[in-house]
Amino acid sequence: MIYSLASDYYGFPDPAEAEENGLIAVGGDLSPQRLVEAYASGIFPWPIDDHSPLLWFSLDPRMVLWPERFIYSHSLRRTVRSGRFEVRVDTCFEQVVRGCATADRHGQDGTWIIEDMVQAYVQLHELGLAHSFETFCNGQLVGGLYGVSLGNMFSGESMFHLVRDASKVAFVRLVEFASLHGFCMIDAQQPTSHLASLGATPIPRHEFLQKLDGMDFSRTLQGTWGSTVVLLLGSNQGDRHALLDEAIRCIGHDIGWSSLRSARYETSPWGFECDTPFINQALVVETSLSPNEVLSLALAIEHRLGRQRPSQSDSVDSAGETRNYAPRPIDIDLMFYDSRCIDTPRLQLPHPRLHLRRFALQPLCDLCPNFVHPRIRKTLAQLLEQCPDTGEVTKLA
């Protein structure tokens, strides 16, 4: 059944009543309130042209990608690692939308991204709900994608490329961002062979709607997106909880705001020379700073809170193993920066034996279990499951 939308009411009918082609409603507008309600209901606009009433669809089946099932081919991995492309986030949203609107598409005459759609999604972007992943080559925009983020789901709208693989490289960054922030799925809307080649799969509409019904939209990562840092905090000296609280406050002031925080865990792994067990907590932090700037500020925060890092010769033996774990009021390790490990061997950052440390893996898995370690090429959840460390890790209330 096709419903006519009232101009003064933003609700939508039950998507299960949609026509066979997915059409559920006609009319309404593209106001932010209506668009948010549509996406939260599993519905999206698909206009014909500038002059016809708006059409709203809920497709059955629905094409989705679970981030952990992304197919990262060897050829695409080589392209990303070549350094030919640079991917930015939320720096030229409208340009990406217009690039999608003007892209040539096989078998399509014209575009559904009419001017009203452009302006509507730009407005959503300004509200921090629509985002773009942009691929640059030699300083020029050559591809990208955009979509809407609600709860822990990203709904992709469209992508384009002017250079081969440019949109795929942007998609890689989207998947990595989704994994780092615990997104459960990327909604790709319509089945296409291109999306299937990247790991997307069609699922029944009722299954898709069940995912939406259980979603906490209050945890939407709203605002301008940028770089993401994953930090692991620890303390085994003094008032450990108060020190972690103060470190988090300093991180928020100096580095960026923490969009996700794990539970706190207490552990005494591998013979610490201290009677007080460590407590650890992981943070996902949004920042505009470079990796070196983050490291410098993290070390400054440690120093302010009483941490004195020993020299490399004092802390590491000839085999590269840490000699001992002296009491420390605060320990801040930069585990990942976007999809990279940042090497600082003198400081043992990132943790050189992460896959062997249950106390590190457990809080990280609270936040982003499906994030693939950039070097070991296994998800954090897989590393935790296979971790040989038998040290007890206890979740604190």
User: Over the stretch 311-324, which tens digit does the pLDDT of each residue have?
Assistant: 544 455 444 555 45
> 336 and 189, same structural domain?
no
> 97 and 171, same structural domain?
yes
End residue of a domain, out of 219, 247, 262: 219
Is the preceding omega at residue 291 within 30 degrees of 0, hence cis? no
> 108 and 48, same structural domain?
no
Is the separation of the CB atoms in 87 and 169 below 8 Å?
A: yes
For helices 240-254 and 291-304, the axis angle rounded to 10 degrees is 140
**What was the pLDDT predicted at 174?**
97
Q: How far is CA 258 from CA 22, 177, 247, in A?
A: 39, 14, 12
**What was the pLDDT predicted at 117?**
96
Ranking 29-43, 268-282, 323-337, 358-372 by mean pLDDT, the lowest is: 268-282
Query: Phi then psi for 369, rounded to 5 degrees?
Result: -60, -25
Q: What is the pLDDT of residues 102-139, one digit of tens each?
A: 987 655 555 789 999 999 999 999 999 999 999 999 99
Is the separation of the CB atoms in 187 and 153 below 8 Å?
A: yes
Q: What is the pLDDT of residues 321-356, one digit of tens each?
A: 554 556 789 999 999 999 888 776 655 555 567 788
Q: Looking at the chain, list the stretches that DSSP marks H as alpha helix, in order from N- to C-terminal side.
A: 32-40, 74-81, 93-102, 115-126, 166-180, 193-197, 205-213, 240-254, 291-304, 312-315, 358-367, 380-386
Task: Band the pLDDT of 357: cuts 50, 70, 90.
Answer: confident
> 174 and 317, same structural domain?
no
Identify the CATH number of the domain in which residue 28 sits: 3.30.70.3550
DSSP-derived 3-state class of residue 116: helix
> 81 and 41, same structural domain?
no
Q: Which residues contact 275 (CB under 8 A, 6 or more apart)?
A: none
Identify the CATH number of the domain in which residue 78 sits: 3.40.630.70
End residue of a domain, out of 193, 219, 245: 219
Report how many domains make up the chain.
3
How deeply is 213 buried, as exposed, middle or buried, from its count of CB atoms within 10 A (0-12, 13-18, 19+)?
exposed
> 97 and 200, same structural domain?
yes
Radius of gyration of the chain (CA): 23
> 106 and 24, same structural domain?
no
State the Cα–Cα distance between residues 262 and 255, nearest whole angstrom: 18
**What was the pLDDT predicted at 97?**
98
Q: What is the pLDDT of residues 184-238, one digit of tens each?
A: 999 999 988 889 999 999 999 999 999 999 999 999 999 999 999 999 999 999 9
> 9 and 103, same structural domain?
no
Q: What is the pLDDT of residues 28-44, one digit of tens each?
A: 999 999 999 999 999 99
**What was the pLDDT predicted at 280?**
95
Q: What are the structure tokens assigned to 149, written together? A: 């983020």
Identify the CATH number of the domain in which residue 235 sits: 3.30.70.560
State the Cα–Cα distance between residues 359 and 268, nearest whole angstrom: 9
> 209 and 255, same structural domain?
no
> 150 and 125, same structural domain?
yes
Q: Tell me what the pLDDT averaged over the chain comes to.
A: 90
Q: What is the pLDDT of residues 49-89, one digit of tens each?
A: 878 899 999 999 999 999 989 999 999 999 999 999 999 99
> 78 and 39, same structural domain?
no
Q: How far is CA 386 from CA 290, 336, 357, 363, 382, in A?
A: 32, 20, 11, 16, 6
In the chain, the percentage of residues whose pLDDT exceeds 90 is: 75
**What was the pLDDT predicted at 262?**
97
State the Cα–Cα distance between residues 201 and 193, nearest whole angstrom: 10
> 118 and 17, same structural domain?
no
**What was the pLDDT predicted at 346?**
57
Q: Which domain holds residue 78?
A: 62-219
End residue of a domain, out of 180, 199, 219: 219
